[in-house]
Amino acid sequence: MPLVSMRQLLDEAAKGGYGVGAFNVNNMEQIQAIVAAAVETKSPVIIQASRGARKYAEDRYLFHLILAASELHPEIPIAMHQDHGNSYETCKSAIELGYTSVMMDGSLKDDGKTPATFEENVAVTKKVVEFAHARGVTVEGEIGVLGGVEDGHGAGGTGLEHVTDPDQAVEFAERTGVDALAIAIGTSHGAYKFTKKPDGSVLKMDLLIKIHNRLPHTHLVMHGSSSVPKDLQDIINQYGGKLRQTWGVPVEEIQLGIKNGVRKVNVDTDNRLAMTGAIRKVFAEQPEKFDPRDYLKPAREAMQKVVALRMTQFGQAGHAGDYKPLAITEFIKGYASGALDTRPSVAKK
């Protein structure tokens, strides 16, 4: 199966009332872990690469590895997504490579650190939407700013400094025509999201519900959605790691989000923790081992387990065969005719 439009995956998820995990990758083992989990649970899936991932693995390696996954598993709808594009040029290069979806994160300036103004965000996102939709490619935008910093990307802070304003979200959707919208509701990237199990004072699910009610036709995206389970933290610390105790986003809150318009759920940190724990265990218990396969295989299996669990929890499990993937050319037509227009003033139920 060729790579699929992310818009199709999200439209189908909206019809079915489930969410789709978007998992970050940097190398072959992570791609294999995700695809193995998708095959195991019969799930459609979004595989995403950050700018850092594209640089680390080199564009063509990563692109062809993801393409290989879709060739080997034609039964699994796979969308290939640029995570946190920082500029028009980054998104354009992903589209030219063959990504079927891009995120233009215009909530930050192109340094990936400084919060941008609303007008700057609208302008750059609109430009990306025009380029992408003419090629049948899906666009995710972001309004409000997440907390934390990952690999140099992010404004830092707790995640509560720039939560999304619902009026701005509506205006942003109207002026840009994005297919999906990431909103800031108090979450952060990375392992250190909350210092205790989050309640409504730090994780603003009420705000998410408010935005969904105002924008029922825009697919919402939850970034920073790792749950940072204690058992994964414990394995790392048990085998010599040094993680401070921390809390992520409880799965039941993500499920509440999915009931209220969240269709894409971004997870990276949980998989990083799972792989690192498995590798540390081999190093600690079998110090005589030196073949990378001896620790990468358990790492891949540990990540598969986490991804399969999330796929079941997000509800995408069992939905891989529900629909026939449409050619990207169908999306070029759909955007051009207005049939796929999500702007609140024109979108219909």
Q: Which residues are catalytic?
A: 83
Report 261-320 residues binding Zn ion (CB under 5 A): 266
Residue 226 binding target from ligand G3H, Zn ion, ligand 13P, none, CB below 5 to 8 Å by type: ligand 13P
Report 124-153 residues binding ligand G3H (CB under 6 A): 150-151, 153
Helix (H) or strand (E) holding 85: strand 78-85
Query: Mask 255-284, x = binds ligand G3H (CB under 6 A)?
Result: -------------x----------------
Q: Closer to ligand 13P by CB, 108 or 328: give it.
A: 108
Q: Is 66 helix (H, G, I), strand (E, B) or coil?
A: helix
Nearest CA among 221, 219, 212 for reference residue 15: 219
With CB atoms as reference, the residue minimizing the distance to ligand G3H is 151
Rounded Cα distance between 214 and 314, Å, is 23
Length of the chain (residues): 349
Answer yes or no: are the C-beta atoms of 20 and 257 closer than 8 Å: no
For position 24 contacting ligand 13P by CB under 6 A, the verdict is: yes
Residue 52 binding target from ligand G3H, ligand 13P, Zn ion, none, CB below 5 to 8 Å by type: ligand G3H
Helix (H) or strand (E) holding 263: strand 262-267
Report 95-124 residues binding Zn ion (CB under 5 A): none
Helix (H) or strand (E) holding 264: strand 262-267
For position 223 contacting Zn ion by CB under 5 A, the verdict is: yes
Q: How far are the Cα atoms of 102, 117, 150, 161 from residue 92, in angstroms, in the given order?
A: 9, 22, 22, 30
Pair type for strands 101-104 and 262-267? unpaired
For position 269 contacting ligand 13P by CB under 6 A, the verdict is: yes
For position 141 contacting ligand 13P by CB under 6 A, the verdict is: no
What is the nearest approach in angstroms of ligand 13P to the Cβ of residue 52?
A: 11
Q: Closer to ligand 13P by CB, 272 or 319: give it.
A: 272
Nearest CA among 167, 267, 183, 272 for reference residue 219: 183
Q: Which window, 62-70, 223-231, 306-314, 317-325, contacts ligand 13P (CB under 6 A)?
A: 223-231
Q: Which of 107, 226, 313, 342 binds ligand 13P (CB under 6 A)?
A: 226
Nearest CA among 120, 116, 129, 214 for reference residue 165: 214
Rounded Cα distance between 331 and 100, Å, is 11
For position 189 contacting ligand 13P by CB under 6 A, the verdict is: yes
User: Can you give the binding site for Zn ion, defined by CB under 5 A?
Assistant: 223, 266
User: Can you give the binding site for ligand G3H, defined by CB under 6 A?
Assistant: 24, 50, 52-53, 83-84, 150-151, 153, 189, 268
